[in-house]
Structure 1
Amino acid sequence: MARLNINGKVHNVDVDPETPLLWVLREQVGLTGTKYGCGIAQCGACTVHIDGQATRSCAMPIAGLAEGAKIRTIEGLAGKGGELHPVQKAWAELDVPQCGYCQTGMIMATVALLDQNPTANDDDINTAITNICRCGTFNRVRAGIKLAAQNLKPAAAQPAKKRA
């Protein structure tokens, strides 16, 4: 029996310790926002946060999770009252996804990047966001990351808007 803290709620799951976290999330806990892409931790569709770090869940056995690790999925990003995370808002504003399949992983990778580096430049983005999008929306993803970073800045740090 494993105890997992997922999106702030403790779940007791009775599965083989070698079961990848992705399948526990989807089949045992019922959180299907995290997607299966490749099964070898290469594409990033399965990205979740473990203690704030972007982690590819398809190759992470639950045995590898320390007791008390905090797991966050796409379902856990929204704020109280269901308000979208600034990255989700940027994605919607710029219509980032095409088919959308990989986008939960892209969003989770982006949130982890901006949590660690809110002023990420293009080199930082290239290094951190290695998720694959088969539709090729990488330019819109980059624009979404930059918009989200702007929206995450405290109001005092943003330049004043000029009045017309």
Structure 2
Amino acid sequence: MKVTMKVNGRQVSGEVEGRTLLSSFLREGQELTGTHIGCDTSQCGACTVHVNGKQIKSCSVFAVELEGAEVTTIEGMAAPDGTLNAIQAAFQEYHGLQCGFCTPGMVMAAAALLKDTPKPTESQIREHLQGNICRCTGYHNIVKAIMAASGQPVAAVAAE
């Protein structure tokens, strides 16, 4: 089957089997390897992308279901010249990453949260990230990075 969608602002097409997951279409068909596959069961959030402006786990949807959709991956978050966006810069500044495996999904989840809730509380951030697993940092610096990206002070973020 042929599927066509807009990925990171660019029209793309590809031949896929009906069972091809969006995560595989992006990684293998479009060579957008920033979308990580951690579990293939929709548990870890490493494959988080935005589809038509909404946060989804790309291992939970078939590529053919997204005919005509607009998809944004981590590669589409930075400016065309490679300048990091505010969330990416905050993750870097506040060391909201360690091994980096979960980072693309965390950044995409953070972007969705900040779109809907520009000044989230620490509690709202932690609740929103429940579907994204980080095995390294314990979330403390990730929460600080998201607070900083929202323009809020990070000094009061609790170490949990």
What TM-score, normalized by structure 1, do the two folds share? 0.87
- Give distance in 2, aligned partners of 1:124 and 1:53: 17
Partner of 1:22: 23
Q: What amino acid sits opposite 2:114 in the alignment?
A: L
The answer to whether structure 1 residue 83 and structure 2 residue 79 are counterparts is: no
- Give distance in 1, aligned partners of 2:93 and 2:11: 33
Secondary structure in 2 matching 1:48: strand
Q: Is the Cα–Cα contact under 8 Å of residues 96 and 137 in structure 1 kept in the other structure?
A: no
Q: What amino acid sits opposite 1:77 in the alignment?
A: M
Secondary structure in 2 matching 1:35: coil
Q: Is the Cα–Cα contact under 8 Å of residues 22 and 36 in structure 1 kept in the other structure?
A: yes
In the alignment, structure 2 segments of 5+ residues that lack a partner are 153-160
In the alignment, structure 1 segments of 5+ residues that lack a partner are 152-164
Judging by fraction of residues, say which structure has more helix: 1
Alignment RMSD: 1.3
Q: What amino acid sits opposite 1:124 in the alignment?
A: Q
Give the deviation of 1:18 after TM superposition.
Answer: 2.1
- Give distance in 1, aligned partners of 2:140 and 2:73: 24
Give the deviation of 1:96 after TM superposition.
Answer: 1.5
Q: Is the Cα–Cα contact under 8 Å of residues 55 and 112 in structure 2 kept in the other structure?
A: yes
Q: Could you list the per-position Cα deviations for residues 95-126 of structure 1 after superposition, in whole angstroms to 9, with x for gaps in the alignment? A: 22111111110011001110111011123212
Give the deviation of 1:68 after TM superposition.
Answer: 2.6
Aligned residue pair count: 150
